[in-house]
Amino acid sequence: MLTVYLVLIPAFLLALGGLLLWASRSGRETEKLNRGLSREERTREILKKVRQIDVSTRAIVNELFAGEYHSVFKGRGMEFAEVREYQPGDDVRIIDWNVSARTGKPFVKIFDEERELTVMLLVDVSSSGDFGTARHLKREVAAEISAVLAFSAISNNDKVGLIIFSDKIEKYIPPRKGKKHVLRVIREVLFYEPGEAKTDLNVPLEYLSRIVKRRSTAFLISDFLARDFEKSLQLAAKKHDLIAMNIIDPREVTLPDAGLVELEDAESGERLTLDTGASYVRNGFHKAIRAYQKELRGLFRSTGVDHIEVLTDRSYVEPINRFFKMRARRKGALQ
């Protein structure tokens, strides 16, 4: 059971909400600037940013990830075909216990390998994503990661779909193939303007299980500043190959010694002034966040969900590449 530890330390609760006001002005100024642009100017800015991400991420995919993705995910899509009576040498893990119980004889499930996979990107666009104290806002990192995964998928002839969410489903793009489709996915993740500011991770997980009938590989991309989503995570992980991608800004882990700082909860608008010059405040914040992250990792382990942690002040290439290699080793051990 996840606990939001900062409820026990009220001075830090708003910081967990995701926004250090003094450190996020660049994101807000960009947003104001965009609102001041004409439609044509904004369109040019969007296309420019999408092209930049297209060029940079395709290079990464071609040089690093395409082969890793292929070795990890190709052939993992399996569709149930029929059952037959157990034969010596069959893998006990594919025994159909329900049929075996009814007939009194052991039966195993037979699967047909699907020629293609469906990759679903579940991307959090709540207001806490418009936070960044390093090179990029969390939302920009989410867009680049989405691009890498999407280009890796289409290079493998797989389909890619998108679910954009806050505390509701903001937008659903059905799985398709092709570069034009991937560029649309990037554009939506980067520039979609959500109707709501808050986060509810139950919403995309339940929607995924309802809308995508066959087993898919689903990447849940969020900062996971939410609670009470354990049951939905567990149910979705039983139906789909679910991978959690946790995007973290360094200031969400360690507070600087900056004296009095005004904090604002990005999702509720509530504000608080905090004395970061006090060491007990900084140390308490750090311990509380670490405890929350530890419990979050424990939740992922207990539900069988692989997870990747990406820091906004570091390259996302290494953690994703490490994940692919780990998956490849695991797949080789099972064969």
State residue 286's pLDDT score.
87
79 band by pLDDT with thresholds 50, 70 and 90: low
Least confident of 23-32, 35-44, 54-63, 132-141: 23-32
Tell me, yes or no, whether 46 and 162 share the same domain.
Answer: yes
The per-residue pLDDT for 131 is: 83
Q: What are phi and psi of 218, to 5 degrees?
A: -120, 130
Residues of the domain holding 138: 5-75+116-334
Helix (H) or strand (E) holding 221: strand 217-222
- Cβ atoms of 240 and 204 within 8 Å: the answer is no
Mean pLDDT value across residues 238-263: 89
| In a shared domain, residues 202 and 62 | yes
> Across residues 305-311, what is the average pLDDT?
95
Quick one: tokens of 254?
């360690």
Asked which of 93, 112, 131 is the last residue of a domain, the reply is 112
Task: Tell me: do 85 and 130 sit in the same domain.
Answer: no
Q: What is the mean pLDDT of the chain?
A: 80
- Asked if pLDDT for residue 49 goes beyond 80, the answer is no
Both 89 and 147 in one domain: the answer is no
The residues pairing with 208 across neighbouring beta strands, listed in sequence order, are: none
Among 112, 135, 170, residue at a domain's last position: 112
Q: pLDDT tens digits for 149-182?
A: 998 888 888 899 999 999 999 999 999 999 899 8
Domain match, 85 and 126 both: no
Return the pLDDT at 135: 78
CATH assignment at residue 33? 3.40.50.410
Overall domain count for the chain: 2
Rounded to whole angstroms, what are the CA distances from 196 to 30, 126, 137, 164, 232?
19, 7, 18, 12, 21
C-alpha angle 52-120-117 in degrees, rounded to nearest 5:
105
Does the pLDDT at position 314 exceed 60?
yes
36: pLDDT strictly greater than 60:
no
Q: Is the pLDDT of residue 272 over 50?
A: yes
Same domain, 104 and 154: no
pLDDT tens-place string over residues 173-216: 999 999 899 889 988 988 888 887 789 999 999 999 999 988 89
Residues 90 and 222 in one domain: no
Same-domain pairing of 106 and 247: no
Same domain for 158 and 294? yes
Is the same domain home to 293 and 187? yes
Q: Are residues 152 and 189 in the same domain?
A: yes
Residue 155 and residue 295 in one domain: yes
Last residue of a domain, one of 65, 97, 112: 112
d(CA 22, CA 260): 10
